[in-house]
A and B are shown apart, each in its own frame.
Chain A
Amino acid sequence: MLFLLQDGITNGAIYALLGLALVLVFAVTRVILIPQGEFVTYGALSYAMLATGQVPGTARLAMAMGVVAFALDLFAARKSLRLRFVARAAAINILFPAVILALTYSLAGPKTPIAVNIALALLIVAAIGLFLYRIAFQPIAHTSVLVLLIASVGCHLALQGLGLVFFGAEGLRGPALSSAALTLGPLRFTGQSIAVYSITVAFIVALWLFFGFTLMGKALRATAVNRLGARLVGIRTTLSGQIAFLLASVIGAISGILIVPITTLYYDTGFLIGLKGFIAAIIGGLVSYPLTAVAALLVGTVEAFSSFYASNFKEVIVFTLILPVLVLRSLAAPAVEEEKD
């Protein structure tokens, strides 16, 4: 019983992180981020490959996407090209991924410390997240949620396909962050699960501080509430979108790195993990971070228990969990008029 709960909470913590990222991206950009799952697998599998001393293909992908993003930036500003602009665009789109690529090639090896591998994997996925927004979503940022959603699906397909190219069809596991373990009464906490808990809590607190107490965090919230209004008071909404994607990809990659020592991940595992984060996010109403975190723990726990008692119907139970919640939400929701295009 108790170990099921423990297992559920560990999974739930990961779903909570992903749920938070989804809420963040949706609130700021209105994009329902289906490729969130790819950020997870990219982070996890890049880390696992680095741990075996290989250079993951994701580093080259980041470089390639940087080049495309640079070209788009130049094309978008073709009427008023200034040196400073070009230099800035080149620094972000070319120099940043180039440095990551160079670092990866020079540092990758069988004896590279775990911390360096983690840092490299995070940097690579962060760059991919940033460029993904620039390339796929920034040009259509003004369109309807539906169009953004379909574009998001397109990104998911492309990234998942690339994942197979980079990592192969075989699953990978990464080395644990720490081999320490702690026994408390009947429960045994591995260093890994403690890391999962502490990093999740740290992220929730950090996001809360970021959105509550920094100018950039408030600007992001303003963009979420009213895009046009935010622009009128001088917030650069494209920057907000890029930051949201950057944060989401880092969070995704961290979740991946946290679970890859516990379970074997395949190139396409991310989709399902991301979807469970989704369920947590929906239960949280796509707006509330604490509620999303609580919901994620619930999803993780239900999953752990149902995989023990009715393993065949595990996914059915997890995904239908959402229906009663949606009913409650609809009953509670005020009948407000929404203007949509």
Chain B
Amino acid sequence: MAMNQRLLPLVVFALVMAVIPFIPGVPPFWIVLLDNIGLAALVAMGLVLLTGVGGLTSFGQAAFCGFGAYTTAVLTTAYGVSPWLTLPLSLLVSGIAAVLLGIVTVRLSGHYLPLGTIAWGIGLFYLFSKLEFLGRNDGISGIPPLSIGSFKMLDPGTIYFAIWIAVLISAILTMNLLDSRTGRAIRALRRGHVAGEAFGVQTPSAKLLVFIYAAVLAGLSGWLYAHFQRAANPTPFGAQAGIEYLFIAVVGGAGYVWGAVLGAGIVVILKEILQSYLPYIFGGQSQLETIVFGILLVVLLQLAPTGVWPWLMARLPFKPGRKVPDTSLTLPARVREPGASSVLLHIEKARKQFGGVIAVNDVSFDVRAREIVALIGPNGAGKSTTFNLITGVLTSTGGTISVLGTKVDKAPPQEVVKLGVSRTFQHVKLVPDMTVLENVAIGAHLRGHAGALASMFRLDRADEARLLAEAARQIERVGLGDQIDQLAGSLSLGQQRIVEIARALCVDPLLLLLDEPAAGLRHLEKQRLAALLRQLRDGGMSVLLVEHDMGFVMDLADRVVVLDFGTKIAEGTPAAIKTNPDVIKAYLGATA
């Protein structure tokens, strides 16, 4: 059933596309348009992954088409290599170009990235048009057609099949990739790197991966283009084209694979209509279509800033169903050494300075096995900074922090989580347009092994099923089983905090760090949370929590550490802390 729901629309789409050329009376010109739509859709699909899903805006995709097209153009014309042999080479050249440019570019933050891509996009365009062996501005002509045996794909109606088979396969592979362990890591990129890294995602390589993926799709489009036009010149690989691909993706709906196909259809057909009909209406003004096209684009963005595909989907009478994870599958649990020292987390004179401000001032404390420790203090006392030091988000200025005897003060978050320390965030860091299940499954990232290629070809299903089962179990455990298929962004803030706890539990942690877990919860929900935390402790886990709700803390914690202005002022049992004069002074300002 689940398979059918996934496959049925695909099969229908494939059949419709396959039948179109055989319908009598379809003008050959329509087929050319469809060819162009397919070529543009391939590039835009890469951009959906790169820009819409991964949040990395690139204006340079047309240049990667250029790499694909010129590779095959040079090899087939100058060296007589068969077009089919140049396909892997075209993809490889685009991919290598992406690696080189990507290493430089994907590390750029925010707006540097799109601007950087404009710059090298234009640079490469001029390079294509100046190099002797690429034929300078005239390009290369006389590229042989694709052929199977003696059958040559000479006319638009035959290469049509090659183009649309490529579109269909790419769409399936892209959707498979997005619906996987790697896909979740990619989808988390857009929301910043801290949350993903806290669960072991290597953000730089995830970014590089989507960059290469998008470039290879563009290279594929370029390869097809070269054999479709039977010629390659620099014009279609310039900055204007790069910009156009980006708006195909945005118009269609930048986060959606089929948005790329829809967007390509809208933009290509719109341009064609404008080019062929406007001159009749307004007389021979040649540039009129660009003017109208530009204006229509601005108007369209004002009406549907998220693109046309999601707008259409929201109006569908039926909603696609979701698969239910089989919770009988299990992941291997973390190996807990029985003889290990009882001190889980050891903090010795940890210090963090931001310029002149000392946020954490030589703080020392321990968390032992099977213990709930609360870290309290007024606002600005350095509690969240301490959390960030422990989890490797910040590097400490001095002192040592060790987990089970391993020093972690210089370790990145991805290494800390491997030791069995997982956390939640004071400001919730979920991906709002992913379901609760998908968000929680990010927590199990390190417990799965399937890579991007395995995911694309669906070889990851066993691994994936175990990850989702674990996620579903943890969601059930925290009591959000009814919300499992809702989008995380649609939950209340309190529920989102609980989702974060479920995500942290997916790590199978030894130590759970909770940053204000009870904020935004109602009384009953707080009681349930306290019960859950006690149950976790009794099961062998340790919990370190920051919390402002004193009733909650004093009831729950075995031990309390109090910080004020970055300095530890007290440590002890809840009862002792309640009567500690320093603590009362810190909270109430004077001796009460």
Interface residues of A (CB under 8 A from B): 26, 32, 135-136, 139-140, 143, 145-147, 149-151, 153-162, 164-165, 275, 278-279, 281-282, 286, 312-313, 315-316, 318-320, 322-323, 326-327, 329-330, 333, 336-340
Are A327 and B111 within 8 A (Cβ)? Answer: no
Interchain CA distance A337-B425 in the complex, whole Å? 13
Distance (whole angstroms) from the CB of B533 to the closest CB of chain A: 27
Chain B residues lying within 8 Å of A143, measured Cβ to Cβ, are: 301, 305
Among A161, A164, A319, the residue within 8 A (CB) of B120 is: A319
Are B250 and A146 within 8 A (Cβ)? Answer: yes
Extra pairs beyond A135-B298, A154-B298, A330-B104 (6, CB < 8 Å): A153-B246, A158-B290, A158-B294, A162-B287, A326-B116, A337-B192
Distance (whole angstroms) from the CB of B377 to the closest CB of chain A: 23
Chain A residues lying within 8 Å of B293, measured Cβ to Cβ, are: 154, 157-158
Of the A-B pairs whose beta carbons lie under 8 Å apart in the complex, a sample of 26, sorted by A's number, is A32-B111, A135-B298, A139-B302, A140-B302, A143-B305, A145-B110, A145-B114, A149-B57, A149-B114, A149-B246, A150-B301, A153-B243, A154-B297, A157-B290, A157-B294, A158-B291, A160-B287, A278-B115, A278-B119, A281-B115, A313-B126, A313-B130, A315-B123, A339-B192, A340-B55, A340-B110
Interchain CA distance A158-B301 in the complex, whole Å? 15
- At the interface, is chain B mostly helix, strand, loop or mixed? helix
Distance (whole angstroms) from the CB of A225 to the closest CB of chain B: 14
Interchain CA distance A157-B291 in the complex, whole Å? 6
Chain B residues lying within 8 Å of A147, measured Cβ to Cβ, are: 250, 301, 305
Among A136, A139, A316, A330, the residue within 8 A (CB) of B123 is: A316
Among A153, A275, A316, A339, the residue within 8 A (CB) of B297 is: A153
Q: Which residue of A is nearest B298, CB measured?
A: A154
* Residue among B122, B286, B290, B295 with the highest chain A CB neighbour number at 10 A: B122
Distance (whole angstroms) from the CB of B585 to the closest CB of chain A: 34
Interchain CA distance A315-B105 in the complex, whole Å? 20
Are A136 and B298 within 8 A (Cβ)? Answer: yes
Are A275 and B192 within 8 A (Cβ)? Answer: no
Distance (whole angstroms) from the CB of A189 to the closest CB of chain B: 31
Interchain CA distance A326-B118 in the complex, whole Å? 12
Interchain CA distance A164-B116 in the complex, whole Å? 29
Among A32, A161, A330, the residue within 8 A (CB) of B107 is: A330
Pairs of residues from A and B, 9 with the lowest C-beta to C-beta distance, nearest first: A158-B294, A157-B294, A319-B123, A154-B297, A161-B291, A161-B290, A315-B126, A161-B287, A322-B119
Q: Which residue of B is nearest A144, CB measured?
A: B305
Interchain CA distance A296-B190 in the complex, whole Å? 32
Are B295 and A158 within 8 A (Cβ)? Answer: yes
Chain A residues lying within 8 Å of B193, measured Cβ to Cβ, are: 337
Q: Which residue of B is nearest A312, CB measured?
A: B130
Distance (whole angstroms) from the CB of B84 to the closest CB of chain A: 32
Distance (whole angstroms) from the CB of A315 to the closest CB of chain B: 4
Are A145 and B111 within 8 A (Cβ)? Answer: yes
Among A155, A159, A275, the residue within 8 A (CB) of B122 is: A275
Distance (whole angstroms) from the CB of A165 to the closest CB of chain B: 6
Interchain CA distance A8-B234 in the complex, whole Å? 28
Chain B residues lying within 8 Å of A153, measured Cβ to Cβ, are: 243, 246-247, 294, 297
Are A340 and B301 within 8 A (Cβ)? Answer: no
Chain A residues lying within 8 Å of B302, measured Cβ to Cβ, are: 139-140, 151
Chain B residues lying within 8 Å of A322, measured Cβ to Cβ, are: 116, 119-120
B4 on interface, CB distance cutoff 8 Å: no
Number of interchain pairs (Cβ within 8 Å): 152
Interchain CA distance A278-B130 in the complex, whole Å? 23
Interface residues of B (CB under 8 A from A): 51, 55, 57, 104-105, 107-112, 114-116, 118-120, 122-123, 126-127, 130, 190-194, 239, 243, 246-247, 250, 254, 285-298, 301-302, 305
With A139-B302, A153-B247, A330-B107 already in contact, the answer to whether A319 and B126 are too (CB < 8 A) is yes
Are B109 and A333 within 8 A (Cβ)? Answer: yes
Are B301 and A140 within 8 A (Cβ)? Answer: yes
Interchain CA distance A279-B115 in the complex, whole Å? 8
Chain B residues lying within 8 Å of A149, measured Cβ to Cβ, are: 57, 114, 246
Chain B residues lying within 8 Å of A320, measured Cβ to Cβ, are: 119-120, 123
Are B305 and A140 within 8 A (Cβ)? Answer: yes
Distance (whole angstroms) from the CB of B290 to the closest CB of chain A: 4
Distance (whole angstroms) from the CB of A78 to the closest CB of chain B: 17
Are B297 and A150 within 8 A (Cβ)? Answer: yes
Interchain CA distance A149-B285 in the complex, whole Å? 27
Interchain CA distance A146-B191 in the complex, whole Å? 15
Distance (whole angstroms) from the CB of B592 to the closest CB of chain A: 35
Are A150 and B111 within 8 A (Cβ)? Answer: no
Distance (whole angstroms) from the CB of A275 to the closest CB of chain B: 7
Among A154, A315, A338, A340, the residue within 8 A (CB) of B294 is: A154
Are A340 and B192 within 8 A (Cβ)? Answer: yes
Q: Which residue of B is nearest A282, CB measured?
A: B115
Are A26 and B295 within 8 A (Cβ)? Answer: no
Chain A residues lying within 8 Å of B104, measured Cβ to Cβ, are: 323, 326-327, 330
Are A154 and B192 within 8 A (Cβ)? Answer: no
* Residue among A26, A145, A153, A329 with the highest chain B CB neighbour number at 10 A: A153
Are B122 and A319 within 8 A (Cβ)? Answer: yes
Interchain CA distance A278-B108 in the complex, whole Å? 16
* Residue among A155, A161, A275, A315 with the highest chain B CB neighbour number at 10 A: A161
